[in-house]
């Protein structure tokens, strides 16, 4: 039996057990639905939380019942010393699960080191298996390096590896079946994601309702409803032999705010309480003005108490100016 969670609950009774930590807002790709091509609004390095600041703050969350950490960005592998940071975070009391979201362009050279650092699980973004198309989506020639990164991660022993595919109408929706076949072949878990109206890029990305796709894949590949332990907001289908799973992250067509268990720390130390709302709590001023650990504990309680009930992606699709790279999804 699972031990009862000692995590802090928000005003709506949701236990906050999961912290996503953006270690940079910069990225080597410019995916059309994420960072605008000529974006200049990146955070100045002097505002980035240092490794020591991150370890201290995550340690406080760990003491308050957060058990799961995901390193994200921007592209986290562009942050210098990431494996060292990962190893320090993994050793913190309370942190049971450390995962990484990456575009995998630089994964081949560091997969072994990341595995040794204690990262348990990897999510890799891959929206197309066609080189030309992926270049159009990411604005970089990157298919070979991503596939090389994925294979290196497999050899390094990462299991599971999840592939995140943002499914876009008229852009890559004709490739969903190919992606299922690719993931079946390689033992990857596939997750299809609906585009979220984050920034002008996210709003103009060719939203695709995944509910009909789910029904179609169920029939085409003989899939049945499945549950993935720690699978987060995704609803899963799996093959009858259990060897393949596909998840559907459907913040628009079927939102999952009532079970949201997460908050997001940006690289400059702002804690975003909801992906689809602007409210945030600033930790950097506290960390840089001599706050005690007990001050930080009080601040975490105060922040989580402000977590909103839900996002307004459907009712107010123009509201979010912030792009996904700020908080890492
Ligand atoms: N660079 C890392 C990666 O590629 O996984 C981590 C950061 S990236 C912002 C995290 C995820 O957010 C990726 O899977 C990306 O495809 C997704 N994403 C970015 N903008 C999005 C949007 N507007 N709607 C849905 N997903 C989005």
pLDDT, block means (10 residues), the chain with 329 residues? 76 97 98 96 97 98 97 98 98 97 98 97 98 98 98 97 98 98 97 96 95 96 88 87 95 92 98 96 98 98 97 91 91
CATH label of the domain that carries residue 81:
3.20.20.70
For 93, 170, 325, the CA distances from 88, given in Å and listed in that order, are 11, 43, 24
Ligand 1 centre to CA of 291 (Å) is 33
Q: How many CA atoms lie within 13 A of 280 on its CB side?
A: 18
At 109 the pLDDT is 97
DSSP state of 9: B
At 3 the pLDDT is 60
Neighbours of 39 (CB within 10 A): 16
Alpha carbon 64 to chain centroid distance?
21
Q: Residue 13 domain-assigned?
A: no
User: 218: buried, middle or exposed (CB in 10 Å: 19+, 13-18, 0-12)?
Assistant: middle
Q: Residue 53 domain-assigned?
A: yes
Q: Residue 11 domain-assigned?
A: no
Q: Strand, helix or coil at 234?
A: coil
For 131, 183, 194, 293, the CA distances from 126, given in Å and listed in that order, are 11, 11, 14, 40
Q: How far apart (Å, rounded) are the C-alpha atoms in residues 329 and 23?
A: 13
Beta carbon of 164 within 6 Å of any ligand 1 atom: yes
Q: Residue 5 domain-assigned?
A: no
Q: How far apart (Å, rounded) are the C-alpha atoms in residues 77 and 27?
A: 9
Q: Residue 12 domain-assigned?
A: no
- Most ligand 1 atoms within 8 A of CB, residue of 74, 126, 166, 205 to mutate: 166
Q: How far apart (Å, rounded) are the C-alpha atoms in residues 263 and 19?
A: 5
Q: Residue 93 domain-assigned?
A: yes
- Name every residue whose Cβ is closer than 8 Å to that of residue 216 and which is 6 or more positions away in sequence: none
At 1 the pLDDT is 45
- Name every residue whose Cβ is closer than 8 Å to that of residue 310 and which is 6 or more positions away in sequence: 255, 257, 258, 260, 274, 276
Beta carbon of 72 within 6 Å of any ligand 1 atom: yes
Task: Give 260-285 pLDDT, tens digit per residue.
Answer: 999 999 999 999 999 999 999 999 99
Neighbours of 292 (CB within 10 A): 9
Total domains in the chain come to: 1
Pick the closest to residue 279 from 248, 313, 242, 322 (CA basis).
322
Beta carbon of 101 within 6 Å of any ligand 1 atom: yes
Q: Residue 33 domain-assigned?
A: yes
Q: Residue 1 domain-assigned?
A: no
Task: Give 204-246 pLDDT, tens digit per residue.
Answer: 999 999 999 999 999 999 999 998 777 678 899 999 999 999 9
Q: How far apart (Å, rounded) are the C-alpha atoms in residues 287 and 15?
A: 25
Domain that holds residue 299: 18-327
Which residues are paired to 161 by β-bridges? 122
Beta carbon of 247 within 6 Å of any ligand 1 atom: no
Beta carbon of 324 within 6 Å of any ligand 1 atom: yes
């Amino acid at each position: 039996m699972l031990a009862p969670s000692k995590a802090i609950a928000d005003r709506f009774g949701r236990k906050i057990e999961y912290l996503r930590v953006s270690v940079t807002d910069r990225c080597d790709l410019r995916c059309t639905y994420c960072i605008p091509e000529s974006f200049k609004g990146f955070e100045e390095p002097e505002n980035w939380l240092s490794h020591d600041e991150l370890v201290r703050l995550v340690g406080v969350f760990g003491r308050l019942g957060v058990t799961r950490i995901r390193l994200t960005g921007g592209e986290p592998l562009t942050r210098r010393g990431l494996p060292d940071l990962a190893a320090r975070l993994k050793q913190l009391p309370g942190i049971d699960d450390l995962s990484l979201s990456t575009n995998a362009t630089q994964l081949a050279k560091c997969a072994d080191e990341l595995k040794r650092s204690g990262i348990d699980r990897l999510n890799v973004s891959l929206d197309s298996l066609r080189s030309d198309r992926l270049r159009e989506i990411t604005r970089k020639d990157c298919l070979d390096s991503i596939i090389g990164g994925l294979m290196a991660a497999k050899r390094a022993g990462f299991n599971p590896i999840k592939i995140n595919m943002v499914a876009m109408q008229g852009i890559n929706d004709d490739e969903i079946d190919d992606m299922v076949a690719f993931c079946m072949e390689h033992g990857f878990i596939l997750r299809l994601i609906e585009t979220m109206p984050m920034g002008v890029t996210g709003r103009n990305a060719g939203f695709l309702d995944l509910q009909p796709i789910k029904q179609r894949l169920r029939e085409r590949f003989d899939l049945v409803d499945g549950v993935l332990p720690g699978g987060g907001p995704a609803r899963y289908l799996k093959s009858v032999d259990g060897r393949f799973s596909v998840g559907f992250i459907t913040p628009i067509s079927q939102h999952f705010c009532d079970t949201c268990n997460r908050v997001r720390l940006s690289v400059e130390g702002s804690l975003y309480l909801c992906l689809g709302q602007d409210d945030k709590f600033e930790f950097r001023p506290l960390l840089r003005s001599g706050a005690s650990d007990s001050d930080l504990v009080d601040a975490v309680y105060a922040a989580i108490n402000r977590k909103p009930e839900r996002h307004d992606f459907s009712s107010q699709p123009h509201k979010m100016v912030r792009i996904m790279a700020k908080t890492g999804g």
